[in-house]
Amino acid sequence: MAGGEGVAVDTAAAEGTESGKGGNYDGKCVFCRIARREEPGTALLSSEYEDLACFRDCRPGAPHHYLVVPVEHMGNCKTLKKEHIPLVKRMMEVGKAVLQRNNFSDLNDVRMGFHWPPFCSISHLHLHVLAPASQLGFLSRLFYRINSYWFITEIKSLLSLHGGQFSGEQEIRVNSPFWILSIPSEEMARGLMKRTVCAKSIFELWGHGRSAGELYASLKNYPVDKMLPYLQSDSTYKIHIHTFNKTLTQAQKIKKIDALEFLPFKGKVNLKKPEHIFWILEDYGMDPNNVPEEPFHLYFGRWIADGQRELIESYSVKKRHFIGNTSMDACLSFIMANHGRVKPDDVVYDPFVGTGGLLISSAHFGAYVCGTDIDYNTIHGLGKATRKNQKWRGPDENIRANLRQYGLEKYYLDALVSDSSRPIWRKGMLFDAVITDPPYGIREATRRTGAQKETDKTAERSTENHIFVSSSYHLSDIFFDLLKFAAEYLVMGGRLVYWLPIYRPEYTEEIIPRHPCLKLISNCEQMLSSHTSRRLITMEKVKEFKDQDQNSYLLDGQYMPYRGHNSFREKYFSGVTKRIAKEEKDNQK
């Protein structure tokens, strides 16, 4: 319900829309009725334009939360076209004016935008005006966040009216440490390098070949008009040489550089601060014990940008304020965030959040982050410390402190004590990415709430406020619960990224958990021991979750094979036991 709070009702505008209900009018639409003063419980606020109505949101997400709607019925923001730009601008003007009339003047702390279908409850165009944006609560940050499917800011809404789309197709053409990517623009290439911790550098490829002769021929065929901007007489440059799996002498390097004298370089050499840097890249294979005399492949190109490998050191767990036994390595955290395609203003969730290592990498890329964990002490930073020579955790050792350490606290929504097998979230698509590292039962126990002999029937009979004791949580159940959660709560196109522990002698592709709403995108292996590894699984939501998908895995033939990995802990330590026994036997000889 909306009240006045000292703001006069624009009676002229109201009278102008009372008579005859002309124009587009939908009697079933509550916003049409409010705009025509047919809802006595909602008062109209003053509007500078007769064709726009303004009133307070009945479920405010901020101290000031207003809605601006066209008086005539108009569909949601998907119906907007280029000719509607003036309308959207006027809606914004009305929103700013009502804030100022209600004594809110800091227009830099305002959030305006539209909910994107299917996340708008009323299909009548309405602009949300919220202030102060800095005081939005946890749920409000979820539902009114910038640049998301839930909430599109005015800037993005206006730009989207002009059309245009992002295209980033790429192709890996060489199976070597050097990849050839097809990227539409240099700007996009720089954007990629601002994210990656795996790639060292990216270059504009001018030529390549399997021998020096092929490289030179390729360079001579490269369009001169593309070279000339970087070879002008008033420019400076230098040439580097990088060899993979082989070391060259300085004399050999100079000889290779001199062989490029046919290129039309007109500028001056500057080894300290050149304007343009060129590289000769040579691939001598992957086998350090069998290095060929000549490279398998050669490349020449202009340097564009370096990757973000320095993040591995600056975000190192060794320097982190709050850590645990299973805190994720910084490099792997950033790789997982990139697999999840985390971008600014996404909402990323970790259902096994631990000390929040995966939240940090996502927050670094501008996403809002939250998580849950069944361990009360970890969530609240209590109990024994993990670091050597420290008995108890300090008063400010917690997840929030970790994000504060890196200047990322503004992206932290919250961390809650919760059992991942019993989701606490209301129904609907809430998250852009679910990125997590579930416990395997090695350094952290696999636990959930519930009695050891609990059955489905007792679970149904239990009341909501009953707290079960802790019981074991089988790996097969962990991962199928995780997939079911992702299928239900991810937005369309959202990604699930998680680690799957594997006993290598028994591994086949068939044991990877599947769900009809999720498509497998990638499957990468990290070795843990001679007989165990873990697979980084990336899946994308491609189908809306339906009630019939609730327990679809129970009918899947892949469910039974994967149950064999419930004994992963025993198999993991069986290898350790055998190795210790072998070492003891060898020492006795």
Name, in order, each residue with C-beta under 8 angstroms of 80's C-beta and a sequence gap of 6 or more.
Answer: 88, 125, 157, 160, 161
Angle at 336 between CA 331 and CA 340, to 5 degrees: 150
d(CA 33, CA 280): 70
Contacts of 107 (CB under 8 A, 6+ apart): 96, 99
d(C-alpha 337, C-alpha 334), whole Å: 5
Compute the Cα dihedral for 267, 269, 275, 276 and give only its sign: positive
Residue 103 burial (CB < 10 Å; 0-12/13-18/19+)? Answer: exposed
- Where does residue 172 fall: left (phi above 0), alpha (psi -120 to 50 degrees), or beta otherwise? beta
Judge whether 374 and 350 are in contact, CB under 8 Å.
no
Q: For residue 359, which of 307, 411, 425 has the smallest C-alpha distance?
A: 411
Token pair for 471: 């019981």
**Nearest to residue 520, comparing CAs of 551, 558, 470, 567?**
558
Per the annotation, the verdict on 124 as an active-site residue is no
Round to whole Å and give the CA distance between 45 and 43: 6
How far apart CA 334 and CA 495 sit, in angstroms, is 15
Contact 262, 228 (CB under 8 A): no
Q: How many CB atoms lie within 10 A of CB 33?
A: 16
**Type and span of the H or E element at 20:** none
Answer whether the bond into residue 132 is a cis peptide, omega within 30°.
Answer: yes
User: 318, 357 in Cβ contact below 8 A?
Assistant: no
Name the catalytic one among 64, 126, 297, 515.
126
Length of the chain: 589
Catalytic residues: 126
